[in-house]
Amino acid sequence: MPRAYIGVDVGTTSTRAGVFDESGTLLATARHPIRIWHEPGDVVEQSSQDIWEACVRSVRAAMAEASIAPDSIGGIGFDATCSLVVLDRQGEPLTVSASGEAERNVIVWMDHRAVAEARLINETEDAVLRYVGGSISPEMEMPKLLWLKRHLRGSFDAAGHFFDLADYLTWRATGSLQRSTCTVTCKWNYLAHDGGGWSAQFFKRIGLSDFVTEKYARIGTEIVAPGTRLGSGLTRTAAAELGLPAGIPVGASLIDAHAGGIGAIGGRDGAGGTSDACDRLAYIMGTSACIMATTKEPCFVPGVWGPYYSGMVPDFWLNEGGQSAAGAAIDHLLKSHPGHAEASAAARGEGLDLIDFLERRIIARTGSASHAALLARDIHVLPEFIGNRSPYADPDTRAVIAGLDLDTDIASMERLFVAGLCGLAYGLAEVIEAFAAHGVRSSIMIMGGGASRSPLVRQIMADTTGLTVALPQTKEPVLLGAAMLGAVAGGAYASIGETMARMSALGRKSEPTAPDMAAFHRRKRAVYKLLREVDRGSRAAMGDIARG
């Protein structure tokens, strides 16, 4: 009987499920929203129970759309944002919130409550920090855990399990406490190379010696490669919830962007030749963005996370740059524009979402995705609303906009939109240049995530970076990457590498950059650098004054 595989992706605002056949063809998808709480002080929380229920609904809906028998599913894989889940010793939710509500038991990746704790950890200059670009981010789990210990000691002490969200999902599905190499290496300071493991010295130096004393029981004692079959597969309880047979293989998880990398960079090219993952950069753009490079040997790039051994592709090293706000930055820019209500109503009238509506108007006006950037000649955006993740590792960076006028029409919104995209592209170019300066070079960039479907986004990224930008053949590389985990766990393929070659392929590529547009972006990048200087200078000037 032909087998199919389910990939489940948990993003910041929704869960999605995709059903794929053995060749990687998408059969069906479904989405369900998840609840999120935003509080002052960059506090962002979710509920693990709500997330699991959304996964269940997404899987059931995708299976109904695919119209295939449940017993044809050969495996399931999960990916998720790198959010922190806290459970008590009975596996029940334990609050991470000032509200005291137990259901609010997830500190979301983008939560920056632990900035002070990140600084304390960085001040130790421990050798472990070499493997996060020299500076830990408040988006990672150790600062969040230290924050819990310092500010919600009751929850920290009562916790029985601390999970990365992706590992929570596989635990919920199988009952297995095994963690993925991807999650703990990339977000928990686990050293996967040379038998390194957890560093007792690091935990003692940063004030989390509790984990050493308890022999790491609450954060993971068995670390396995992504795609490893966990436990005995789906438990009876999870199977009943998902509408699937018990025992279906479940693969060890991936972080969401890394699932997109797996689903994108190993694909067959149009000539049918073998692919070289080390020559392909993955750019996964959603609420945030990740820029991921694969290398055979470790490359240390200041301000860029990694190098992580087996952090994405097994037995290779990973460098992971990022932008804390990507899609979120564009959404915020558009919502802040006076013409937002008018443009949103016009988009609804045409049956489009706002960004598709704006993009169609822009390309119709300018004649090409490349020349659309000229709309942003006089408006410039440093879109770092919640800090710079890479290559400056500065969580205190904030957005700067120059060139605003009093126009409130849709045309002025289009200019702001394009300027925001250019700002994201210049931030991407800075990361790629940091990679290259330290020996990490690629000739092609594979884009994934929701924004990758935009010809405007892809061409601006290509014109700015000088790289060819390609799409995966699948429209859903993140879901495909998650499904690949199920295919490996189910034995359809022997390894992640083989699965990448068999289930994915490259699709459309960007157009060559015209010389005049390359020159335009060089000029505009110079202004972008001035905005960064303004941000740094303004913070320095006001730094000794107490906030109101």
Q: pLDDT for 408-455, tens place per residue?
A: 999 999 999 999 999 999 999 999 999 999 999 998 999 988 888 899
What per-residue confidence (pLDDT) applies to 267?
78
Tokens of 258: 């890394």
Tell whether the model's pLDDT for residue 272 goes beyond 70: no
Query: What mean pLDDT do residues 382-408 have?
Result: 96
Q: How many CA atoms lie within 13 A of 531 on its CB side?
A: 22
What per-residue confidence (pLDDT) applies to 313?
92
What per-residue confidence (pLDDT) applies to 452?
85
CA distance 320 to 311: 9
What per-residue confidence (pLDDT) applies to 456?
95
User: pLDDT digit string (tens) for 499-511?
Assistant: 999 999 888 888 8
Distance from the Cα of residue 294 to its chain's centroid? 16
Nearest CA to 82 out of 231, 247, 225, 258 is that of 258
Distance from the Cα of residue 288 to its chain's centroid? 6
User: pLDDT digit string (tens) for 521-546?
Assistant: 999 999 999 999 999 999 999 999 98
| CA distance readout (Å), 86 to 93, 96, 144, 247, 473 | 6, 7, 11, 26, 37
SS (H, E, C) 219-288: CCCCEECCCCECCCCCCHHHHHHHCCCCCCCEEEEEEHHHHHHHCCCCCECCCCCCCCHHHEEEEEECCC
**CA angle (29, 34, 37) in 5-degree steps:** 155
Tell whether the model's pLDDT for residue 274 goes beyond 80: no
Tokens 């925001």 sit at which residue? 420
% of the chain beyond a pLDDT of 70: 99
Tell whether the model's pLDDT for residue 95 goes beyond 80: yes
- State the burial class of residue 90 (Cβ atoms within 10 Å of its Cβ: 0-12, 13-18, 19+): exposed
List residues bridging with 394 in a β-sheet: 388
Nearest CA to 59 out of 89, 91, 99, 18 is that of 18
At residue 547 the predicted structure's pLDDT band, cuts being 50, 70 and 90, is confident
| CA distance readout (Å), 395 to 43, 52, 89, 113 | 14, 30, 33, 11
Query: What mean pLDDT do residues 468-487 have?
Result: 95
CA distance 97 to 151: 10
What per-residue confidence (pLDDT) applies to 266?
82
What per-residue confidence (pLDDT) applies to 270?
63
Nearest CA to 305 out of 316, 290, 294, 320 is that of 320
CA distance 32 to 329: 23
Query: What mean pLDDT do residues 337-357 have?
Result: 96
User: pLDDT digit string (tens) for 49-71?
Assistant: 999 999 999 999 999 999 999 99
CA distance 254 to 311: 9
CA distance 219 to 324: 25
CA distance 168 to 348: 37
CA distance 432 to 450: 21
